[in-house]
Amino acid sequence: MYTLHVRRRLAATTGALLLATGAVLTGASPVAAAGPAPRVEARNGPVLEVVSTETSLTAPATARPGPVTFRSSTTHEGSGWVGLARAHEDGTTSFLGGVVNHPGRPGLFTTTLTPGEYVLFDYLYTQGGAEPRERRLTVSGPVSGTTPKPTATIVSREVPGKGPRFTVTGKLRAGAPIRFTNELPGQYNEAVLFPLPANVTRAELQAFFDAADEGEPVEAPFDTSLGLGSLPLSTDRSQVFQVPLERGRHVLVTWVRDSSGHLLAKQGQFEIVDVC
């Protein structure tokens, strides 16, 4: 079965990602109550709807090659982190993004697809014995679609002498398109943004990630339930995503672990950023 190979790869991907739900944390520091979510609008043509509920996942069965935009929404907090993947004949799997979202706060992601078979799947249904929730997507026909113009670009890369790092260029704007590119060799990665209290320092964040890396029960210095951003991309993959970020101070985080089992964030891959 095509999707079985993808599922096997997911086991190595989702454990660290699900840390962002707060399941292994003892608590989180409060932040200001969120106001109305910034409106997220697609500006590049047709959008394919992906809708999650407590009991179902509705997704398109077909798409055209070229830039394809998906709108991902959920009505249930325990579902709806829908990612896109493609298995290859050589036994590898490409992770092609998706968005971390929440009820009432949908997100968009645009990725360029070539003809073939893909799987849309819910990361929150890949562990703990849950029945996998996935839909097959067939891409065929003439090329169509356009990619929205991002106001900022996030790149995940290896910096000599320092390790994995995020670089951010342009301006992160509330509700605006953001490009995320993963350049880490042989390492899938994500980019998730969390509102950050004004008094939290980089040193405090580093101490938290150090403890989390060891699996210690520790209180996070930010609310880990409020993340919005990009689901994992394989090496040399890119997507443009739009999520309803609030204006203000954020921490840009990855919960992914490297091949030795250590959090990339422990190695310094997190950044304090401002959303305007």
Q: How far apart are CA 32 and CA 231, in angstroms?
A: 25
Q: Is 44 exposed, middle or buried (0-12, 13-18, 19+ CB in 10 A)?
A: middle
Task: Please report the pLDDT score of residue 39 as a whole number.
Answer: 52
Query: What average pLDDT score do residues 160-165 get?
Result: 97
Residues 189 and 249 in one domain: yes
Query: What average pLDDT score do residues 246-252 get?
Result: 98
Final residue of a structural domain among 95, 113, 139: 139
Residues 80 and 157 in one domain: no
Q: In this structure, what CATH number is given to the domain that contains residue 255? A: 2.60.40.420
User: Mean pLDDT for the chain?
Assistant: 87
Task: Please report the pLDDT score of residue 220 as a whole number.
Answer: 96
Q: How far apart are CA 63 and CA 246, in angstroms?
A: 31
* Residue 144 domain-assigned (yes or no): no
Residues 7 and 132 in one domain: yes
* Residue 59 domain-assigned (yes or no): yes
* Residue 63 domain-assigned (yes or no): yes
**pLDDT-wise least confident of 37-41, 43-47, 113-117, 214-218:** 37-41
Residues 162 and 129 in one domain: no
**Domain, as residue range, for 203:** 152-275
What is the token pair recorded at 61? Answer: 């069965």
Task: Please report the pLDDT score of residue 91 as a whole number.
Answer: 87
User: Which of 192, 182, 117 lies closest to 156, judged by CA?
Assistant: 182
Query: Across-strand partners of 83?
Result: 98, 121
How many helices (H) and strands (E) are present in the chain, helices listed first? 2, 19
* Residue 180 domain-assigned (yes or no): yes
Q: How far apart are CA 95 and CA 93, in angstroms?
A: 6
Residues 186 and 215 in one domain: yes
Q: Residue 19: is its pLDDT beyond 50? A: no
* Residue 147 domain-assigned (yes or no): no
Residues in the chain: 276
Residues 165 and 269 in one domain: yes
Q: Select the more confidently predicted residue: 31 or 140.
A: 140
Query: What average pLDDT score do residues 60-78 get?
Result: 96
Residues 72 and 187 in one domain: no
Residues 115 and 163 in one domain: no
Final residue of a structural domain among 139, 170, 198: 139
Residues 132 and 166 in one domain: no
* Residue 47 domain-assigned (yes or no): yes
Q: Which residues contact 94 (CB under 8 A, 6 or more apart)?
A: 85, 86, 88, 234, 237
Residues 164 and 201 in one domain: yes
Residues of the chain with pLDDT > 90, as a percent, come to: 75
Query: What average pLDDT score do residues 151-174 get?
Result: 98
Residues 54 and 182 in one domain: no
Q: Which residues contact 260 (CB under 8 A, 6 or more apart)?
A: none
Q: Select the more confidently predicted residue: 218 or 7.
A: 218
Domain count, the chain: 2
Task: Please report the pLDDT score of residue 132 as a whole number.
Answer: 82
Residues 112 and 175 in one domain: no
pTM metric for this prediction: 0.87
